[in-house]
């Protein structure tokens, strides 16, 4: 449930009612509607959510055995002042709030690792895969991405040059360069280098705010929480069945495309 | 589950210190192809007055206004749910504008399939500032909703 629509790209139709680990489909409340009975069954918004109360509610509505329908023709325009400061603050708060959701729905005393699923069209509708789930005294969610690998290598390089054998430092530096290329490279448009560099810088700032917010939010929840970062590659179109033109009476989503959210 | 012959639609909006923005939203709600049965505005303890805005729209919309002193969006939205009487409750934000067929399109799936518990729509973005930060936001976030085809380009 941590990743929003932002990284999913829904199509018109039913959304999967299961999640991948704690990643779940949801509708931002800037444009969402609920059946009163579903709200009653789900129990309304959770006031303990700093952010992500819309994700939390959609999870509970889905668990109450109601379908989620995405209707892109119902449009809302959001007027916003876009500033770097506002962007950083917004993603910091998203990260911070998501830690609570992981604590609420995620497994206890397990360390789970996720990454973007690069297999074309396969996997799951979120394009996210859980790569490992192991018992651990510390509860945690770790997202693996070039961003995280880049910083891990930088730490390694600093340690290597400061205290350890210099070879470790050089290895860390080489790794950092390689992952920096993976992080910045795929989106770089050679025809517009200045613009590409600026957009990459903005992405780096947003990712950093998101990860930092998640880390601090996770500490508050007594867990290790390494938030997902933006995709480094342009998303490939996912192969999925054509969406129904209209919802039909008594229709249920036939095959839950993803596993259920782990029981709290 | 028996299907009611008509689903009453309540729009719930939480606002704080943005009467000007809210007025824009109410204007877009006043010209809907399917008029909402009620519009519940929850003032989350604003310092600024909404009297002028409420006065202007009281005749044009089935407006209900409440003040929720507990800070925070979840509590304020729950207050809106408690105050709303509709069978379907639509949420949007005070810094948004809805398209003229928004209520109709959002409510329609609930009629067609009683198992549908939630409907979400598309969120477009418009900025008065523009620039690269907006470009980034549009590319990375808002425009991704329901537009995978453009996304793949």
Longest dimension (CA), chain B: 51
Compute the mean pLDDT over every residue in chain A, rounded to the nearest whole number.
83
Is pLDDT above 90 for B19?
A: yes
How does pLDDT run across B76-91, given as a tens digit for each residue?
999 999 999 999 999 9
Inter-chain CB proximity A46 and B124 less than 8 Å: no
Mean local confidence (pLDDT), A154-159 = 94
Range in A46-55, A125-134, A165-174, A194-203 with the lowest mean pLDDT: A125-134
Mean local confidence (pLDDT), A75-99 = 87
Residues in chain B: 153
Nearest chain A alpha carbon to B131: A82
Percent of chain A with pLDDT over 70: 83
Mean local confidence (pLDDT), B40-45 = 96
The A residues from 77 to 136 touching B (CB cutoff 8 Å) are 77-84, 87
Inter-chain CB proximity A237 and B148 less than 8 Å: yes
Inter-chain CB proximity B145 and A64 less than 8 Å: no
CA distance A170 to chain B (A): 34
Give the confidence band of B125 by pLDDT, cuts at 50, 70, 90.
confident
Mean local confidence (pLDDT), B26-45 = 97
Q: What is the pLDDT of residue A5?
A: 38
- Which residues on neighbouring strands pair with residue A135, listed in sequence order? A110
Give the confidence band of A92 by pLDDT, cuts at 50, 70, 90.
very high
Percent of chain B with pLDDT over 70: 84
Question: Cβ of A259 under 8 Å from any chain B Cβ?
Answer: no
Nearest chain B alpha carbon to A76: B98
Inter-chain CB proximity B109 and A12 less than 8 Å: no
Q: Which of B91, B148, B152 sits opposite A33 (nearest CB)?
A: B91
Inter-chain CB proximity B88 and A10 less than 8 Å: no
Is pLDDT above 50 for A52?
A: yes
B108 versus B130: the higher-pLDDT residue is: B108
Cα(A169)–Cα(A162) distance, integer angstroms: 8
Chain A partners within 8 Å of B106 (Cβ): 31, 33, 71, 74
Question: In this complex, how many residue pairs, one in chain A and one in chain B, have their CB atoms less than 8 Å apart?
Answer: 269
Q: What is the pLDDT of residue B144?
A: 41
Strand duo A67-80 + B116-127: pairing: parallel
B51-57 long-range contacts (CB < 8 A, ≥24 apart) are B52/B19, B53/B19, B53/B20, B53/B22, B53/B23, B53/B26, B56/B23, B56/B26, B57/B23, B57/B26, B57/B27, B57/B30
Q: What is the CA radius of gyration of chain A?
A: 20
Q: What is the pLDDT of residue B124?
A: 82
Cα(B95)–Cα(A50) distance, integer angstroms: 19
The B residues from 28 to 67 touching A (CB cutoff 8 Å) are none
- Which residues on neighbouring strands pair with residue B95, listed in sequence order? none
Range in A96-100, A239-243, B121-125, B143-147 with the lowest mean pLDDT: B143-147
Give the confidence band of A109 by pLDDT, cuts at 50, 70, 90.
very high
Cα(B35)–Cα(B57) distance, integer angstroms: 14
Question: Cβ of B137 under 8 Å from any chain A Cβ?
Answer: yes
A43 versus A80: the higher-pLDDT residue is: A43
Helices (H), chain B: 19-29, 51-57, 73-83, 102-112, 132-140, 148-151
Is the pTM higher than 0.80?
A: yes
Mean local confidence (pLDDT), B138-150 = 45
Q: What is the pLDDT of residue A238?
A: 45
Q: What is the pLDDT of residue A236?
A: 47
Residue A157 is classified by DSSP as H
CA angle A221, A226, A230 (to 5 degrees): 130
Q: What is the pLDDT of residue A239?
A: 41
Inter-chain CB proximity A6 and B140 less than 8 Å: yes
Mean local confidence (pLDDT), B39-47 = 96
Give the confidence band of A258 by pLDDT, cuts at 50, 70, 90.
very low
A216 versus B142: the higher-pLDDT residue is: A216
Residue A113 is classified by DSSP as E
A8 versus A136: the higher-pLDDT residue is: A136
Inter-chain CB proximity B110 and A83 less than 8 Å: no
Give the confidence band of A119 by pLDDT, cuts at 50, 70, 90.
low
Q: What is the pLDDT of residue A6?
A: 38
Q: What is the pLDDT of residue A7?
A: 37
Report the interhelical angle of A146-162 vs A193-220 (nearest 10°): 80
Is pLDDT above 50 for A44?
A: yes
Residues 6 or more apart whose CB falls under 8 angstroms from that of A103 comprise A139, A221, A222, A223
Cα(B81)–Cα(A203) distance, integer angstroms: 37
Nearest chain A alpha carbon to B102: A74
Question: Cβ of B130 under 8 Å from any chain A Cβ?
Answer: yes
């Amino acid at each position: 449930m941590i990743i929003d629509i932002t990284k999913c790209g829904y199509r018109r139709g039913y959304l999967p009612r299961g999640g991948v680990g704690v990643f779940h489909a949801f509708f931002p409340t800037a444009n969402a509607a609920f059946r009163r009975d579903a709200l009653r069954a789900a129990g309304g918004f959770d006031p303990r959510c700093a952010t992500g109360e819309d994700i939390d509610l959609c999870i509970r509505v889905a668990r109450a055995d109601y379908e989620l329908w995405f209707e892109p023709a119902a449009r809302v325009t959001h007027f916003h002042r876009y500033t770097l400061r506002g962007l950083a603050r917004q993603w910091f708060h998203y990260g911070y709030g998501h830690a609570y959701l992981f604590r609420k729905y995620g497994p206890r005393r397990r360390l789970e690792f996720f990454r973007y699923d690069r297999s074309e069209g396969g996997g799951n509708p979120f394009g996210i895969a859980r790569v490992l789930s192991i018992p651990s005294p510390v509860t945690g969610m770790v997202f693996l991405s070039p961003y995280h690998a880049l910083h891990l290598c930088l730490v390694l390089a600093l340690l290597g040059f400061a205290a350890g054998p210099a070879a470790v430092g050089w290895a860390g530096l080489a790794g950092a360069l390689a992952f920096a290329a993976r992080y910045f490279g795929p989106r770089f448009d050679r025809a517009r280098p200045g613009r590409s560099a600026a957009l990459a810088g903005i992405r780096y700032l947003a990712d950093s705010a998101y990860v930092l917010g998640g880390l601090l939010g996770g500490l508050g929840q007594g867990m290790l929480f390494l938030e997902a970062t933006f995709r480094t590659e342009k998303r490939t179109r996912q192969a999925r069945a054509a969406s129904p033109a209209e919802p039909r009476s008594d229709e249920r989503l036939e095959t839950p495309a993803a596993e259920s959210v782990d029981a709290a | 589950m028996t299907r009611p012959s008509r689903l009453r639609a309540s729009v719930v909006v939480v606002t704080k210190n943005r009467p000007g923005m809210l007025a824009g939203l109410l204007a877009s709600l006043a010209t809907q192809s399917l008029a909402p049965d009620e519009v519940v505005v929850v003032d989350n303890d604003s310092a600024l007055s909404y009297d002028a805005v409420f006065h202007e729209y009281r005749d044009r919309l089935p407006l209900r206004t409440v003040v929720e002193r507990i800070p925070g969006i979840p509590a304020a939205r729950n207050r809106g749910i408690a105050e709303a009487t509709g069978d379907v409750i639509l949420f949007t934000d005070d810094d948004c504008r809805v398209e003229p067929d928004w209520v109709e399109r959002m409510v329609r799936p609930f009629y067609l399939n009683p198992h549908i518990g939630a409907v979400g729509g598309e969120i477009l973005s418009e900025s008065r500032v523009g620039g690269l930060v907006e470009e980034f936001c549009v590319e990375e976030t808002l425009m991704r909703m329901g537009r995978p085809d453009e996304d793949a380009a």
